[in-house]
């Protein structure tokens, strides 16, 4: 009897010690991530102050060309023009640095006329990432008005026959193209609909998302990049790529755009169809046989030359941010897997392999992103949107999981 009691006591002790150890590991992990996130935002503030000193008036940072040693800047019509001020607001939120805020306000003033831009679908990227964060942090009604106007402008590109927003204008390459990236611009419509009560914007967003599920995705939940339509009949002309390896390949950033977009659509609508779509896309990404150990994907999951193909840190950053939100809606087991994967991505991106040194890399934060391999454009380069979604993912991790 005594021996049995001792054995039972030892077993309970081992269980207790195991629980203590597990709790200690979790506490250590939280402590490490807290330090990592604080360190990265402090670095980002220093790096972006250096960048701010170089950015010309009415231009936005785009990338840095290591061959020439020169920074590349875009005009305000470039689809990435909102990411620099958006990143500044994210940095300000975490650091309270007034110099960072002043730079953000200055660049918003330059960007504001783009709320009327009708040249393409990218007003969500341009206005929501910049003015959306500005309004969230300041509650300035003028910023909300800019968002409202931009949503009305974006809605003009809705084509009833195809039940989607036309991405690019007609060209020699496409008739009425819709790209997977467009899922990201729906947040502007959803937010303004919620903010103003104008349900027409939400209707357009839902129509677009539903059509994307129907026409962009293959049975394995990988996405075509471009679906080209006949705007008069709604018929599909072709399913193609523009930045992927080939028409049937799985362009890495495109998979990330879809994951983020459908997760966001679930946030606004609570439609289980969008949550299911996001979960399937996450499964495709996280179980893909070509995903590297550090979770930073090659530029295309079917890229030729793997494992020597270029990586895309921007796709990794978007994926991490999306997974952190998806984990809030998923069942507990899947949620833990999503957070663990996002954490691994953030740790990788914060390492010396991907994060630049102070004053280097054109003062961008991340290295090794890929813009468009088929055009030999921005390959293995820093990109403004890589920085933006990296910072957003860090902030989301801090707000939701620490």
Give the residue extent of every domain in the chain: 30-401
- Residue 337: per-residue pLDDT: 98
Straight-line distance from the first to the last Cα atom of the chain, in angstroms, rounded to the nearest whole number? 46
**What is the sign, positive or negative, of the torsion defined by CA atoms of 50, 126, 374, 224?**
positive
| Residue 327: both structure tokens together | 């984990």
Mean pLDDT of the chain: 94
Of 6-10, 46-50, 114-118, 286-290, the poorest mean pLDDT is in 6-10
For residue 130, pLDDT over 70 is answered with: yes
Does 25 or 241 have the greater pLDDT score?
A: 241
pLDDT of res. 396: 98
E strand intervals along 20-155? 60-65, 70-74
Mean pLDDT value of segment 201-221? 98
What residues are annotated to the active site?
Answer: 122, 181
Distance CA 308, CA 314 (A): 18
Neighbouring C-beta atoms of residue 33, cutoff 10 Å: 19
Average pLDDT over residues 338-355: 98
Q: Which residues pair with 54 in a beta bridge?
A: none
Chain CA centroid to CA 285, Å: 14
Short-list 159, 358, 186, CA closest to 262: 186
pLDDT band at 66 (very low <50, low <70, confident <90, very high): confident
pLDDT at 29: 86
CA–CA separation, 58 vs 65, rounded Å? 20
pLDDT of residue 76: 98
How far is residue 373's CA from residue 381's CA, in Å, rounded to a whole number?
11
Q: Does domain 30-401 have CATH number 1.50.10.10?
A: yes
Task: Answer yes or no: is pLDDT of 84 > 60.
Answer: yes
For 108, residues 6+ apart whose C-beta sits below 8 A from its C-beta are 85, 130, 131, 134, 143
Could you give phi then psi for residue 55, rounded to 5 degrees? -75, 125
What average pLDDT does the segment 291-320 reach? 98
Rounded-to-integer distance, Cα 236 and Cα 213, Å: 14
Mean pLDDT, range 117-138, rounded to an integer? 97
pLDDT in tens, 309-321: 999 999 999 999 9
- The span from the CA of 156 to the CA of 152, in Å, is 7
Nearest to 69 by CA among 309, 363, 368: 363
Cα 359 from Cα 342, distance rounded (Å): 27
Q: Give the pLDDT band (50/70/90) at residue 22.
A: very low
**Beta strand 70-74 pairing with 236-240:** unpaired
Q: What angle do CA 56, 60, 65 make, to 5 degrees?
A: 90
Structure tokens at 257: 């755009």
The distance from CA 288 to its chain's CA centroid, rounded to whole angstroms, is: 19
pLDDT at 179: 98
- Reported as a single tens digit per residue, the pLDDT across 350-402 is 999 999 999 999 999 999 999 999 999 999 999 999 999 999 999 999 999 99
Neighbours of 69 (CB within 10 A): 8
Cis link prior to 307 (omega < 30° from 0)? yes
With a pLDDT cut of 90, the percent of the chain lying above it is 92
């Amino acid at each position: 009897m005594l021996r049995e009691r001792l054995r039972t006591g030892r077993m309970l002790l081992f269980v207790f010690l195991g629980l203590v150890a597990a709790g200690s590991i979790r506490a250590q992990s939280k402590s490490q991530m807290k330090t990592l996130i604080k360190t990265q935002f402090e670095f980002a503030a220093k790096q972006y102050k250096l960048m701010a000193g170089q950015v010309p008036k009415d231009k936005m940072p785009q990338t840095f060309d290591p061959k020439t040693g020169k920074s590349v800047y875009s005009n305000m019509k470039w689809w990435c023009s909102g990411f620099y001020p958006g990143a500044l607001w994210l940095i300000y939120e975490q650091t309270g640095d007034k110099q960072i805020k002043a730079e953000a306000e200055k660049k918003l003033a330059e960007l504001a006329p783009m709320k009327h831009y009708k040249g393409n679908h990218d007003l969500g990227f341009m206005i929501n990432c910049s003015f959306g964060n500005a309004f969230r942090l300041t509650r300035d009604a003028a910023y909300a008005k800019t968002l409202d106007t931009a949503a009305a402008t974006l809605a003009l590109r809705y084509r009833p026959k195809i039940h989607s927003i036309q991405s690019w204008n007609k060209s020699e390459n496409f008739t009425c193209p819709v790209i997977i990236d467009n899922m990201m611009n729906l947040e502007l419509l959803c937010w303004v609909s919620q903010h103003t009560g104008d349900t027409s914007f939400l209707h357009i967003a839902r129509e677009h998302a539903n059509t994307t599920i129907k026409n962009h995705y293959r049975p394995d939940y990988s996405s075509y990049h471009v679906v080209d339509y006949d705007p008069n009949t709604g018929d599909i002309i072709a399913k193609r790529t523009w930045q992927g390896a080939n028409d049937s390949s799985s362009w890495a950033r495109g998979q990330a755009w879809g994951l983020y977009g459908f997760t966001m659509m679930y946030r606004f609508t609570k439609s289980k169809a969008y949550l299911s779509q996001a979960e399937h896309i996450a499964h495709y990404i996280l179980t893909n046989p070509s995903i590297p150990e550090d979770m930073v994907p090659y530029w295309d999951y079917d890229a030729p030359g793997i494992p020597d193909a270029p990586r895309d840190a921007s796709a990794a950053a978007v994926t991490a941010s999306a997974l952190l939100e998806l984990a809030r809606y998923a069942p507990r087991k899947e949620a833990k897997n999503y957070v663990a994967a996002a954490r691994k991505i953030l740790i990788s991106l914060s390492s010396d392999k991907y994060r630049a040194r102070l004053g280097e890399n054109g003062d961008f934060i991340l290295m090794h992103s890929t813009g468009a391999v088929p055009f030999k454009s921005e390959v293995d380069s820093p990109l403004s949107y890589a920085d933006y979604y990296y910072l957003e993912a860090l902030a989301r991790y801090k707000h939701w999981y620490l």
